[in-house]
């Protein structure tokens, strides 16, 4: 099947443009052998390439292109299938936009085309091409520095990685949500740990439903007691709940409020995280429970946002105070055009509604740097801190690497 791949990238400073033609003619031999054709645009700073050919061949060539040291900040824009080639003539021509009259450059590019798509602007690939030629999205190309630009330096918190769960059925680990540039923990999320070592969600699943709801609520007593012991002044405390726990357990909200006060905390300090999927399965009952929480001063966060099937309408229906963008959107966001577009839409939407945005599951410096450029400032993930059992764990803070400057 004929597949199409589009990406853009940034030329490295030390690459002479003159050398490119040579390199490309070498690459072209290989492309031809594999039946891959396309076009490579260059505007003096960025490349934009369209690859067309058999799926596996395109993938293999793109993987090699990703390893090429002559460019960086590769962002994959589109991966799709097509009935015919748009640029089937040349192996892969290098088209330098600067050598053409501005007014005619788009037509000059399209003249290289081979198919009936030549002037069909509603073809997505050609739309991308046009956007690039007209430099319409330049301000969205966040050029992030290489990973080594920052050192991640752990603070003096305890090393909690090898802590064992004491002799009890369950307890909680705490993972910081941080503002890395101001080097501040903004919140702690309590994550259940149980004696069997099971993932908390599987653990709740393994219990009869009513027991799970009961445990979900009652276990939060332990969270608030630990919070008191650790001392969390100035921080918010995020707890996870199945939304149905709030609905099915009698007096659930009152119980939580009682425990919050009994441990010297205030409701305004507490954030309840519920996942998008659970919210939409019983929206009316959930709305009722949320009413009580909000009336008491407790905040609401939508967890794993973007992973379920609820979509943005959730923001209209439930007025969350925060959303946490799901890890699967965050992973490799710096390399994916579609993920970048999704994150930007979420940010824009949440800005208009004054909803705080947290990126969760951040593992790579590049992910963090891209998300900071996009306007997010609160993060959770192994890059900064892993959950600490019954403790606030050490946090690795980014510091500019003097040698990289």
Binding segment (CB under 5 A) for Mn ion, from list 15-23, 193-201, 237-245, 261-269:
237-245
| Residue 306 is a binding residue for ligand C2E (CB under 6 A) | no
Distance CA 319, CA 120 (A): 42
| Residue 276 is a binding residue for ligand C2E (CB under 6 A) | no
| Binding positions for ligand C2E, 246-275, rule CB under 6 A | 273, 275
Give backbone dihedrals phi and psi of 264, rounded to 5 degrees, phi first: 70, 20
CB atoms under 10 Å from CB of 186, counted, come to 18
Q: How many CA atoms lie within 13 A of 348 on its CB side?
A: 6
Give backbone dihedrals phi and psi of 199, rounded to 5 degrees, phi first: -60, 135
List, in order, residues 6 or more apart from 216 with CB less than 8 Å away. 204, 241, 242, 245, 249
Tokens for 357? 């945005």
| Residue 192 is a binding residue for ligand C2E (CB under 6 A) | yes
Which of ligand C2E, Mn ion, none has residue 381 at its interface (CB below 5 to 8 Å by kind)?
A: ligand C2E
| Residue 219 is a binding residue for Mn ion (CB under 5 A) | no
Binding segment (CB under 5 A) for Mn ion, from list 15-23, 236-244, 278-286, 379-387:
236-244
Give backbone dihedrals phi and psi of 46, rounded to 5 degrees, phi first: -115, 150
Q: Which is nearer to Mn ion, 307 or 391 (CB)?
A: 307
Distance CA 30, CA 24 (A): 10
Distance CA 266, CA 90 (A): 68
* Min CB(278)–Mn ion separation in Å: 12
- Write out the H or E segment, with its range, that includes residue 204: helix 200-206
* Min CB(331)–ligand C2E separation in Å: 8
- Please identify which residue in 52, 123, 216, 303 interacts with Mn ion, judged by CB under 5 A: 303
- Please identify which residue in 61, 94, 232, 242 interacts with ligand C2E, judged by CB under 6 A: 242
- Taking residues 198 to 237 in sequence order and writing x for each that binds ligand C2E by CB under 6 A, - otherwise, the string is -xxx--x-----------x--x------------------
Binding residues (CB under 6 A) for ligand C2E: these are: 175, 191-192, 199-201, 204, 216, 219, 240-242, 273, 275, 303-304, 327, 361-363, 380-382, 387
């Amino acid at each position: 099947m004929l597949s199409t791949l589009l990406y853009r990238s940034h030329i490295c400073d030390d690459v002479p443009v003159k050398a490119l033609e040579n390199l490309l003619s070498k690459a072209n031999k290989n492309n031809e052998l594999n039946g891959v054709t396309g076009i490579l645009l260059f505007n003096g700073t960025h490349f934009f390439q369209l690859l067309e050919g058999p799926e596996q061949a395109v993938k293999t060539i793109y993987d090699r292109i990703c390893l090429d040291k002559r460019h960086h900040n590769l962002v994959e824009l589109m991966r799709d299938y097509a009935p015919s080639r748009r640029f089937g003539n040349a192996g892969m021509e290098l088209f330098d936009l600067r050598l053409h009259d501005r007014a005619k450059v788009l037509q000059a590019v399209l003249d290289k085309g081979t198919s009936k798509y030549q002037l069909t602007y509603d073809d997505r690939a050609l739309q991308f091409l046009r956007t690039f030629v007209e430099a319409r999205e330049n301000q969205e190309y966040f050029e992030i520095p290489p990973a080594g630009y920052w050192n991640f330096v752990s603070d003096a918190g305890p090393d909690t990685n090898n802590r064992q769960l004491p002799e009890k059925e369950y307890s909680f680990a705490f993972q910081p949500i941080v503002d890395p540039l101001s080097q501040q923990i903004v919140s702690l999320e309590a994550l259940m740990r149980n004696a069997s070592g099971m993932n908390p969600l599987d653990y709740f699943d393994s219990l009869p439903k009513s027991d799970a709801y009961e445990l979900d609520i009652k276990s939060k007593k332990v969270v608030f007691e630990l919070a008191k012991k650790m001392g969390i002044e100035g921080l918010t405390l995020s707890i996870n709940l199945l939304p149905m726990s709030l609905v099915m357990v009698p007096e659930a909200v009152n119980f939580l409020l009682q425990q919050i006060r009994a441990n010297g905390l205030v409701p305004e300090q507490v954030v309840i995280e519920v996942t998008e999927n659970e919210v939409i399965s019983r929206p009316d009952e959930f709305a009722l429970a949320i009413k009580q929480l909000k009336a008491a001063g407790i905040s609401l966060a939508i967890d794993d946002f973007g992973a379920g099937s609820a979509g943005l309408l959730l923001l209209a229906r439930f007025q969350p105070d925060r959303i946490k963008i799901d890890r699967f959107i965050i992973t490799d966001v710096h390399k994916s055009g579609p993920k970048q577009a999704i994150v930007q839409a979420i940010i824009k939407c949440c800005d208009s509604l004054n909803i705080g945005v947290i990126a969760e599951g951040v593992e790579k410096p590049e992910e963090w740097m891209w998300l900071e450029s996009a306007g997010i400032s609160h993060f959770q993930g192994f890059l900064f801190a892993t959950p600490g059992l019954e403790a606030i764990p050490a946090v690795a803070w980014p510091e500019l690497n003097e040698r990289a400057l």
